[in-house]
Amino acid sequence: MVVNTRNGNKRGNLLEATQRAIFGWARKSSLWPMTFGLACCAIEMMSASAANYDVMERSGMLFRPSPRQSDLMIVAGSVTLKMAPVLRRLYDQMPDPKWVISMGSCASAGGPYPTYSHLQGVDKVVPVDVYVPGCPPVPEALFYGILQLQGMIQRGDRQVKEAPIDPEPKLQPTR
């Protein structure tokens, strides 16, 4: 948080924080994720929110059933080409500002066995802010990814570019 003091004295300071810093602090502390889990990564995401790890409770997050109530989408597992337009539609229904975490090898790069029917990375359909590696990633990795996203939100740096995204990717031959 950016803090300035008036008159330089130590007692009775008037603290002024920038609006961006206050909004960043509030946004990072109140993420409401919507899950898009399709495979074994979704099981690890459920494990992360269970009693052993309790990642969501520690982060101040509440799972939301509707995209209109959430500002974070966690894509866990493989996404087929038929599901890609659905994923994009859900992303478009989320209110701004919105963020995306790609969880696991299948969501990030198509998985260990690329096929013609699977999307080779969800970043071809929605802009991804944080990639969580692993097959499947452990709950600690998801927690670390959430912490990285909260840091990005606090600083206000968003690196994603939305221009080259195709809402309906085409079938491509495998190598």
Q: Which residue ranges are tagged as binding site?
A: 40-41, 106, 135
- By the 8 A CB rule, do 119 and 166 touch? no
- Give ∠ CA 34-72-46 in degrees, rounded to 5: 45
Torsion of CA 117, 119, 124, 130, to 10 degrees: 170
Distances in Å between the alpha carbon of 140 and those of 35, 58, 61, 160?
Answer: 17, 12, 16, 24
Q: Which helix (H) or strand (E) holds 101?
A: strand 99-103
Residues comprising the binding site for [4Fe-4S] cluster?
40-41, 106, 135
